[in-house]
Amino acid sequence: MANVDLKNLTKKYGDVIAVQNMDLNIPHNEFLVLVGPSGCGKSTTLRMIAGLEEITSGEIYIGDQLVNEKDPKDRNVSMVFQNYALYPHMTVKENLGFSLKIAKVDKKEIEQRVKEAVQILGLDELQKRKPSQLSGGQRQRVAMGRAIVRRPDAFLFDEPLSNLDAKLRTQMRTEIKKLHQKLQTTIIYVTHDQVEAMTLADRIIIMKDGYIEQIGSPIEVFNNPINVFVATFIGSPPMNILEAEIIKRDGKIYFELDQDVLMPCPESKASLLSQKNKVIIGIRSEDISPSNSNTSDEFWYFEKNIDLAEPLGTETQLFIKLKNKEIISRMYNPREIEIGEQINFAVNLNKIHIFDNETKKIIK
Amino acid sequence: MNRKFLSSPIILILPSILAIGFVIIIPLIFSFYTSFTSYKLTRPDSLYNFVGLRNYERLIDNVKFWKAFGRTILFLAIVLNLELLFGLGIALLINKITWGQRTLRTIMMFPMMFSPILVGFQWKYIFNDNIGLLNNFLYLFGYESAIPWLIGKKLAMGSIMAAEIWANTAIFSILLLAGLLGIPRDPIEAARVDGCNSWQVFKNITLPFLMPFIFIALTIRSLDVGRAYDIVHIMTGGGPAMRTELIWTMIARVGYKDANMGFANAMSYVSIILSIAFTYYFFTKLVAARRELGQQ
Amino acid sequence: MKQIKKIGFWFLVLFILLLVCLPGIWIFVSAFRPNPEILSKPANWIPDRWTIFEFTQMFSIKGYVSVPAFKYLMNSIIISFFSTIIAITIGMMGGYAFARFNFKGKNKIFLGLMLARAVPGISLSLPLFILFAKLGIINTSIGVIIVYVAMNVPFTIWLTDGFFRQIPKEMSEVARTDGCTRFQAFWNIELPLAGPGIGAAAIFAFLLSWNEYALASVLTRTIESKTLPIGMMDYLDEFTINWAGMCAIAVVMIVPAIIITFMVQKHLVSGLTFGGVKG
């Protein structure tokens, strides 16, 4: 039952900056996902909130209480680790009840709360087993159960699904989401997997090199990435990125995507580009698709030979080259494709992203 | 929180350092000082009789000492190599056995539990020229003239080495066996498929993998080389005619029998440097071997 | 050919087994027979007459005591027990610090501790004798206990460091977010998990204390303080050795060592190698 606030949080290891001046307000009951490549500072942030890592400067509040100087045990947060960290010498039941036993909670109460957790997670038949006798998914559940039993102010998840195989990961993802709806608590979740981030989060924070790159709902960060990094990090396959010269012809602005391949600039953006010679264009693969017609004003059409086709069933991903860069297009009505075949592509001009070629930030 | 956390490893290590400081460092400083005096236990005031480097000069001129020193190095070189070799042999042997391997391993650990002093007495008895087990055994085969194992000029040193090897091969065989059991099967099978014969597999796969284990064993062993004193002390006392005198027995004789502390402490320093050099050498080798296997 | 190889193989195994075991068996057998029979020629492996004379002597059941072995046994037990307990406690703290913390000069301190252990007992015995005489703890159990603690601490640190490293760091972290203090996490989680390794370290400490001679021979020279290895020398006269008595006291020394070692021997090996290879 608490919000978590970070104020100007910084963590340095010697001269190496892990987290830089981070400001963040996490309201009660939010499912917040920290995502980013390894070494971006997301785990360090989580561990600072848990109290496992010292803070170099800044402040952390949990439920409006400053916890900088508090030991992990006094912060009333629960953490679920990547490798589960179940106590191997205790049974499932003992694992679940351990934190309450340490807190000297009344035995009946322990019994009651362990029972609740067991029911929520469907661990009934496993209570007497030791962790070594459990499968990966079961261990994961026990690890979550251990966190639930404590009734913490906030749950901290550190890449909890990355040790599971793909199928189980999808299943556990759903369970975590349901759990959040059931428990109504703040969850701070760290992952490097953008799919996990998209599917779980109320709000995503994309981090890189200790800085927050962007904060927003999954749809927001997907549709309006603030810079090239976020644009390529979120979404699969990653957004196509092309450097383009700006060419002015007949009072109109064009982007030169390849030799003699000129894409018109949407009029809404034209005024922003008067000073620029060069930009970075980002187009998601679903916004470049094969088309039979070439008449609509909202689209720009070009023809290109196919380098490679990867059929996925519901869609086929087509690989073409522009300026020697590989571009992926999605074909939603798959048919047999021959390599080298020339296809007419349509680009949705309203959906293209234009980034500054120096700052890599969105131009708008 | 900051301060408490930072200082705690120091607090945790402090008792260890204090204990070692009291029992090892302070005495060493004291004996370092006395090695510059003519200190004799029988004349306490001689503690303040500073003689400069005279003990060390005497040491350098002392032929007996250098003979003992050379003998000690030779003794260690032979004994450690043979222990390693026998240990490796026994480990390979036990590794081949599938049935009763555990029991056999346990039995092989037997000598580790023997006090060196006991090992000394035991082998003193076995090698006794008159009543010893070995001569008794040879007697059965018609060797009626008693072989003077502990008195003979060359035999005595060999007998002591035999005792030392008996007592300490176990640590090698046990650790190397653990190493052998831990070798992953894949590289060995891959090597077989690549056309290696047994010897090539051993040389190219097994041995490199065993290297860290070999150095663990050598490091552990080198910590205790000084305990050979017990065995020699009992078996021959450095005799006959100082033919088995090692640096450690010489220290004991000069220090306790002759009560010449200053000189004995000067020798002690040489022996300490020797032991530390052995340990340091194997320890750095161990670290290097570990790094090679990427097991940092 | 294969048959011959196999027979040769088992012959070799048997030979090594005999080499390892026979001296011990001889000691055991000889402890239970009269002295003259030990000296018989050729060697007699199965005693004609079994006797527990030497044991009754040692433990003064018949009132006459030549060697107060019972007193020595008690000294040995007290000294080994307390020095092991203290060394393990202190060493475990050190091992935990090395396994769990990063601090300046960590590797150098570690190496320094190991090298301190390499100092031969005989080289230490002279200065320790003088120091202890000045402090008035010569010929006392306390003096020897202090010495053995220091001798055992470095190796204990090495072994326990390896074992604590085996336990994932998250184990302690999750316990701490579960509401434990650092000490509670250690006590409830890490210590039980490192238990086997600590047992192995304890055995090594015990064996060293139980069997040590060079230092004890200088620091304990009274009946009140002598340990068994020193007491053994009582059977040594100027010209003769009482072999039967010596074998009997040897049995008293070996049997506890064997029992205690075999209780944890499985962990002993893994303790040594884990501590070493992955440390």
User: Looking at residue A325, which CATH number applies to its domain?
Assistant: 2.40.50.140
**Range A67-70, long-range pairs (CB < 8 A, 24+ positions):** A68/B1, A69/B1, A70/B1
For chain C, percent of residues with pLDDT exceeding 90? 21
Q: Give the end of a domain, one of A167, A196, A230.
A: A230
Backbone angles phi, psi at C228, to 5 degrees: -55, -50
Residue with tokens 């005096």: B37
Task: Please report whether residue A346 resides in a domain.
Answer: yes
Residue in A342, A225, A202, A364 with CA at minimum distance from that of residue A282? A225
Q: What is the pLDDT confidence band of residue C269, given thresholds at 50, 70 and 90?
A: low
| Residue A363: inside a domain | no
* Confidence check: pLDDT of B253 > 90: no
Contact between A73 and C176 using a beta-carbon 8 Å cutoff: yes
Separation between Cα atoms, residue A16 and residue A210, nearest integer Å: 10
Residue with tokens 């499912």: A31
Pairing of strands A203-208, A31-35: parallel
In terms of domains, do A62 and A148 share one? yes
Contact C175 A156 (CB under 8 A): no
**Whether residue A207 sits in one domain with residue A165:** yes
Residues whose CB is less than 8 angstroms from the CB of residue A297 and which lie 6 or more positions away in sequence, other chains included: none
pLDDT-derived band at C206 (thresholds 50, 70, 90) equals: very high
**Which letter, b or e, does each residue of A6-29 get, where b requires 16 or more Cβ atoms within 10 Å of its Cβ?**
beebbbeeeeebbbbebebebeeb
Length of chain C: 279
Q: For residue A90, tell me if it sits in a domain.
A: yes
Query: Among A156, A154, A159, which Cα is nearest to A47's?
Result: A156
Of chain B, the percentage scoring pLDDT greater than 90 comes to 19
Check: CB of residue C68 under 8 Å from CB of residue C186.
Answer: no
- Whether residues A189 and A119 share a domain: the answer is yes
Q: Distance between CA B80 and CA B86 in Å, rounded? A: 10
DSSP element (H, E) containing A356? strand A353-356
Q: Which of A48, A54, A67, A74 to mutate to test the interface with B (most CBs of B within 10 A)?
A: A54
Q: Which two tokens stand for residue B125?
A: 């008895």
Residue ranges making up the domain that contains A218? 4-230
Residues A245 and A215 in one domain: no
Which among C203, C201, C204, C179 is positioned nearest to C189, based on CA atoms? C179
Higher pLDDT: A17 or B184? It is A17
The distance of Cα C187 from the centroid of its chain, to the nearest Å, equals 26
Q: Whose CA is closest to B18, among C78, C149, C183? A: C149
Interface predicted TM-score (ipTM) of this complex, two decimals: 0.86
Q: Which of B30, B117, B295 sits opposite C229 (nearest CB)?
A: B117
Amino acid (1-letter code) at residue A339: I
Q: Which strands sit side by side in the sheet containing A299-305, from one edge to the other?
A: A288-290, A342-348, A299-305
Q: Are residues A105 and A129 in the same domain?
A: yes
Instruction: For residue B276, give Cα distances in angstroms to A145, B225, C4.
Output: 53, 10, 47
- CA A28 to chain centroid, in Å, comes to 20
Domain count, chain A: 2
Out of A75, A85, A89, whose CB is closest to C174?
A85
Token pair in block for residue C24:
């011990």
A308 pLDDT higher than 60:
yes
Please state the separation of Cα B11 from the chain's center in Å: 33
Give the tokens for residue A272.
């922003």
A107 and A219 housed in the same domain: yes
Binning chain B into helix, strand and coil, the percentages to the nearest 5 are 75, 0, 20
pLDDT score for C277: 41
Scanning the structure block, which residue is given the tokens 């979404």?
A235
pLDDT in tens, A352-364: 999 998 899 998 7
Q: Give the minimum alpha-carbon distance from B293 to chain A in angstroms, rounded to a whole number.
A: 25
Residue spans per domain, chain C: 2-58, 69-277
Q: What are the pLDDT digits (tens) for A114-133? A: 998 898 888 888 889 998 88
Chains linked to C by 3 or more Cβ pairs within 8 Å: A, B
Domain boundary among A173, A198, A230: A230
Residues A44 and A182 in one domain: yes
What mean pLDDT comes out for the span B266-277? Answer: 88
Residue B168 and residue B83 in contact, taking contact as beta carbons nearer than 8 Å: yes
| Higher pLDDT among residues C54 and C139, named by residue | C139
Q: Angle formed by the axes of helices B63-96 and B155-181, to 10°?
A: 40
Rounded Cα distance, A14 and A17, in Å: 8
Beta sheet of A316-322, edge-to-edge order: A308-311, A316-322, A325-331
Residue C62 pLDDT more than 70? no
Q: What is the mean pLDDT of residues A303-314?
A: 91
Dihedral sign for Cα atoms in the order A129, A132, A133, A136? positive
Per-residue model confidence as pLDDT tens digits over A132-152 = 889 888 998 899 999 889 889
- In this prediction, residues A310-331 reach a mean pLDDT of 91
Whether A311 maps to a domain, the answer reads yes
Which of B29-43, B75-89, B223-237 has the highest average model confidence (pLDDT)?
B75-89
Where does a domain end: A179, A197, A230? A230
User: CB–CB of B189/C252 below 8 Å?
Assistant: no
Q: Note whether B116 contacts C211, CB cutoff 8 Å.
A: yes
User: What's the rounded mean pLDDT across residues A266-286?
Assistant: 86
Enumerate residues 6+ apart whose C-beta is below 8 A from C19. B166
| Conformation bin of residue A126: beta by default, left when phi > 0, alpha when psi is -120 to 50 | alpha
Give the integer Cα–Cα distance in Å for A273 and A291: 29
Q: Is B12 an interface residue toward A (CB < 8 Å)?
A: no
- Domains, in order of start, for chain B: 67-292 (1.10.3720.10)
pLDDT, mean of residues C22-28: 88
Amino acid letter, A66? L
DSSP string, C224-255: TT--HHHHGGGGB-SS-B-HHHHHHHHHHHHH
CATH tag, C69-277: 1.10.3720.10
Same domain, yes or no: A30 and A150: yes
Nearest of A37, A185, A23, A194 to residue A204 by alpha carbon: A194
Average pLDDT, chain B: 84
Q: Does C263 touch chain B (CB under 8 A)?
A: no
pLDDT at B5: 46
Q: Which residues, numbered 5 to 34 in chain C, qualify as contacts with chain B under a Cβ-Cβ cut-off of 8 Å?
A: 9, 12-13, 16-17, 19-21, 23-24, 26-27
A93 within 8 A of A127, measured Cβ to Cβ: yes
How confident is the model at residue C279, as a pLDDT?
Answer: 34
A39 in any annotated domain: yes
Q: C-alpha angle with apex A248: A245 to A254, nearest 5 degrees? A: 55
Give the domain CATH number at A15.
3.40.50.300
Q: Is residue A77 part of a domain?
A: yes
CA-based nearest residue to C172, from C198, C187, C190: C190
Contact B120, C246 (CB under 8 A): no
Q: What is the Cα A64 distance to its own chain's centre?
A: 27
CB contact under 8 A, A50 and C173: yes
Which of C118, C126, C210 faces B268 most closely, judged by CB atoms?
Answer: C126
In this structure, how many other beta carbons lie within 10 angstroms of the beta carbon of residue B56?
Answer: 17
| Closest residue by Cα to residue C229 from C259, C201, C200, C257 | C257
Could you tell me if A26 and A147 lie in one domain? yes
Q: A361 in a domain, yes or no?
A: no
Q: Using one digit for the tens of pLDDT, what is the confidence trace for A30-89?
A: 999 999 998 899 999 999 999 988 899 999 999 889 999 888 888 889 999 988 888 988
Q: Do A71 and B1 touch (CB under 8 A)?
A: yes
Same structural domain for residues A213 and A268?
A: no
Tokens coding C89 = 């406690």
Does B209 score more than 90 pLDDT?
no
Average pLDDT over residues B12-40: 89
| Closest alpha carbon to C156 in C94, C81, C76, C112 | C94
pLDDT in tens, C183-196: 888 999 999 888 87
CA pair distance B177, B90, nearest whole angstrom:
8
Helix pair C265-277, C243-263: axis angle to 10 deg? 70
Nearest CA-CA distance, residue A149 and chain B, Å: 27
